[in-house]
Amino acid sequence: MVYRGKPSPGCALCRKRRLKCDQERPACSQCLRIGQECPGYQDPQALRVYDQTAAVTTKALARAASTRKAARSPTAEKSKTPPLIAGPTNIQEQAMSHIFKYYVGTSQNPGILCYLPDLLRTGPSDALQATMKAIGLACMSRVYHLPELARSAAEEYSKALRATNASLQDAVSATSDCTLGAVVTLSMYEIISGQSQMMAAWLNHARGALKLLELRGRKQFESAAGRRLFSSTRLQIAMINIFFRTSCHRSPTIAALSKYAKSVGDADAQTVEDFYDILVTFNDHSIKVKETYNNTGFRGNIAPLIKEALDLDADLVSWATSLSPTWQYSTTSTPLPFSHFRSHDTKYHVYPSIDNAVYWNHYRQARIILHEMVQAMCLHQATPDSPQIMHQSISINKQLAEDICASVPYFFTSGEAALGAVARLPWPLYLASDCAGVSPQTKDWIMQILDLIATSTGVQQARILSQFVKTGNHSYLLIPGKPKRVVGI
């Protein structure tokens, strides 16, 4: 899909003759002047979106490879012409097209921002459009090595913040789908641009989005975009809260809305709600683990916390094994079509959709974090069962890390929106790289994939996390009691 901007409200004949149409009723004065029948006017709120389903993944990966090759060439600095997207000549239109091509996707293969067309059709707010331009420009700046676009992206980001704040001051616009969409989408700017306070800024946006979910009430379930925003926003907050350990998930209003969502949703929606319920319990457990730990270790008897973590893991396994066939993935050994892309193993996963793949990796991340906590607690407070628990926990995490690696080819080969979907890969790959039992070869492969994601998509979170892996700056900072592993071990 490519966004061509908001269409002209003028009549078709004036647009063809490139004249300014006064839009008079029943016919414009330009048509009356030449004695022609006025063909009428199009809806100015209509969205000019064109479905361009194509094998863009192959092109993008090839571009990434050629970019790396050109960077090593002594003549690389001589070229001043950026390989920008064919189509719109206005750079902001190109930024919007970039978002639609790589993040919105198509109806057959939706991307992670697939709700944007609905929002733009019903209310293309200044905040949402500025947010999309900021993200598109930030991506293009990195992919095409154009720092001036980064400055333009920062300007659009500032516009988006001002416009969003203005929308939040109005009682009506504050609860609109468009305003929530702008707040949620703003969080991607930090991920793409690689701000130094990336995660803190993301959390601020997430907290603001949570407050909006409360204000919007049951009315938000009346639109498809509203339902998707509600589900995805809560899930992201629940996942990140495992690390930040805030109490923002303890909202009676959100709990009531979640219960309502479960009652009105289809089977897939109820599956998501079941997963969310487990994550809420996980959030509470994560807070308790943190409160029990200080710089000298865990205090008191933590055996109940270990058991609680293992019970939560059993709940997650039960959730995964109860999934319907529409959620199941398969394993294949079909050779990949990219000579410059090496899968981690000869076998890799194929999923029903990007959404399914993302949820499976959320599930794997949650279990990895649980078992990292279990290992940390067993190390600090040994019990007779600790060696067996440790051995089993390490084995589970090694397999979960392998499964995350096996999901990667699907994100790169699943269609038009794949390159936008890989923006969801850096964090699970980062966690997988530091699991006990993961081989140095796997860790090296993960670093290569993170670098490829940064090069091919412009998502700087991937480059930052790759550096963390290379320097040994791993998730021990995020999990209470986890020891820092020596680089290369």
- Render pLDDT for 52-61 as a digit per residue (tens, 0 to 9): 333 433 444 4
Question: Does residue 393 sit in helix, strand or coil?
Answer: helix
Query: What residues does 298 pair with on adjacent strands?
Result: 293
CA end-to-end span of the chain: 45
Q: What is the pLDDT of residue 299?
A: 87
One-letter amino acid identity for 130? A
Has residue 293 got a pLDDT over 70? Answer: yes
Q: Are 121 and 47 in contact (CB under 8 A)?
A: yes
Residue 483 has pLDDT above 50, yes or no: yes
Q: Which range, of 257-261, 415-419, 420-424, averages the lowest pLDDT?
A: 415-419
Residues 6+ apart with CB under 8 A from 231: 261, 269, 272, 276
Structure tokens at 460: 């700087």
What does DSSP assign to residue 104? I
Other CB atoms within 10 A of residue 116 CB? 27
Q: Among the listed ranges 338-352, 370-384, 406-420, which one has the minimum average pLDDT value?
A: 406-420
The mean per-residue pLDDT over the stretch 4-31 comes to 75
Token output for 274: 């079941």
Q: What is the pLDDT of residue 85?
A: 46
The amino acid that residue 319 corresponds to is: W
Cis preceding linkage at 26, omega within 30:
yes
The answer on pLDDT for 305 being more than 70 is yes
Mean pLDDT of 133-159: 88
| pLDDT at position 388 over 90 | yes
Q: Are 251 and 217 in contact (CB under 8 A)?
A: no
3-state secondary structure 12-69: HHHHHHCCCCCCCCCCCHHHHHCCCCCCCECCCCCCCEECCCCCHHHHHHHHHHHHHH
Q: Which of 135-139, 238-242, 277-281 has the highest mean pLDDT?
A: 277-281
**Which tokens in the block code for residue 295?**
């710089």
